[in-house]
Amino acid sequence: MNNQVKYIKLNFNSDFYQYSGNYNYDQAEAVKFYNYIFSYQPPIWQELSAKFGGNETIYFDEYCLGDGVATSFDRYGYKQFTDSATLSYDTRCEPPDSRNPN
C-alpha cells in the first residue's frame, strides 16, 4: 500500500534441518540486520512477546528495535536455531513522543 515496504525477511537457509543449529538469531544478529538495512544502530532492544508454540522446543519471539521497527523470528529444537528473521513496521516500536503528539 502506498508503495511502502511492510517487512523485510532474511532467510538463513532454506533447508535448515540438515544443519545442527548454526543459524542462530539473537540481539547481536538483529543489530547487524537492522544496521545493514538502515545504516545505523537500532536505538533499543525491547521484548514485545515470547510465546511457546506447539511443543516446548519451538518459540516465537518479537522485539522492538526502535524507530517503528520490530524484529520477529522463530527458534526451533534443542539448539534453538532460526531459519529466518523479519524486520517490520510496528507502531509499538515508535518513539513515545511520536505516538502521542501534544
- pTM higher than 0.85: no
For the ranges 16-25, 47-56, 77-86, the lowest mean pLDDT is seen at: 16-25
In a domain, 2, yes or no: no
- DSSP labels for the chain? -TT---EEEEES-TTGGGSSS-----HHHHHHHHHHHHSS--S--EEEEEEEESEEEEEEEEEEEETTEEEEEEEBTTTTB-SEEEEEE-GGGS-HHHHS--
Domain membership of residue 102 (yes or no) is: no
Query: In this predicted model, what pLDDT tens digit does every residue of 14-27 receive, in sequence order?
Result: 554 554 445 678 89
Mean of per-residue pLDDT scores for the chain: 82
Is residue 38 a part of any domain in this protein? yes
Asked, for residue 101, whether it belongs to a domain, the answer is: no
- Evaluate whether residue 78 is within a structural domain: yes
Q: How many domains does the chain have?
A: 1
Domain ranges, residue 88 = 7-96
Residue 90 placed within a domain:
yes
